[in-house]
Amino acid sequence: DAKTTQPPSMDCAEGRAANLPCNHSTISGNEYVYWYRQIHSQGPQYIIHGLKNNETNEMASLIITEDRKSSTLILPHATLRDTAVYYCIVGWGSNYKLTFGKGTLLTVNP
Amino acid sequence: KAGVTQTPRYLIKTRGQQVTLSCSPISGHRSVSWYQQTPGQGLQFLFEYFSETQRNKGNFPGRFSGRQFSNSRSEMNVSTLELGDSALYLCASSLAVGGASGNTIYFGEGSWLTVV
C-alpha cells in the first residue's frame, strides 16, 4: 500500500478555511487519493476522492499536486461540526482494501 | 437514499459467547466489507463479500467469519469472544468489488461490541 503522512493535529478558527495536507510520495499511477473523516463514535464519512485533477463537491475541495506526491483537502468555511479525525488514503491500486492511518485531528475553535 | 445500516448499535457480551452483527448496504451496492476499529490498532480490514462470495480476507483468526445473502445484506459472526474483541465493528458498502479503480466505499455507523 502507498503510505500517507499527515500531521497528527491541526486547529482552525470557525468560519475560516481549513487546509489539511497529506503526503503520498509512493503513490502509483492508478491509485486514487481518498479523504474520509470520522467524528467520535461514528463511522467514517466519505468526503471526496481524485486521481489527477482537482476535485470539488458540496463538502470540500481536493487539490492534488502535479507530481501526485501530495494533496490538500480544503474545507472552505469550517464549522464546529467539522471537528473530526480526517483520513487521507491512497487506494486502490493493486490492493483490495483501503488502509487507514492515524489521520489528522482537526479541531475547529469558536 | 438510505445509507449503510448496521444493527445492533451497541451490545455487551460475555467472554466465550458468540455474536452476530448485521449490515444492510446502500441499495444497489453489491460489495460489503467489514472493518474492526480499536484505539490501539486503528481501522483494520476483516473481509469483503461481493455477490455472496468472500473475495478478500484480512489477518484475523478463524473465529471471525461472515456471509452475504442474495439481497447483498451481510452478517459477521465472532465466536468464542475474547476481551480483546471489544471494538467498533464497521460495515462498508460499494458498487464494485474492492480494488476497482475509483471505487468508493461508504461506511455505516458501526456496532459497538463490549466483551466482559
Contact B107 A46 (CB under 8 A): yes
Contact A32 B98 (CB under 8 A): no
Query: Nearest chain A Cα to B105, which residue?
Result: A46
Does residue B42 sit at the A interface (CB-CB below 8 Å)?
Answer: yes
Model confidence at A92, pLDDT cuts 50, 70, 90, reads: low
B87 neighbors B20 (Cβ within 8 angstroms) = no
Chain A residues touching residue B42 (CB < 8 angstroms): 100-102
| Rounded average pLDDT over A67-81 | 96
Chain A residues touching residue B4 (CB < 8 angstroms): 43
pLDDT over 90 (residue A40): no
Q: What gap in Å lies between CA B79 and CA B64, rounded to an integer? A: 7
* pLDDT value for B98: 76
Q: How far apart are the first and last CA of chain A?
A: 38
Mean pLDDT taken over chain A: 92
| Rounded average pLDDT over B7-34 | 97
pLDDT over 80 (residue B27): yes
Contact B90 A101 (CB under 8 A): no
* pLDDT value for B103: 84
pLDDT over 90 (residue A88): yes
Does residue B46 sit at the A interface (CB-CB below 8 Å)?
Answer: no
pLDDT over 70 (residue B1): no
Model confidence at B84, pLDDT cuts 50, 70, 90, reads: very high
pLDDT over 70 (residue B54): yes
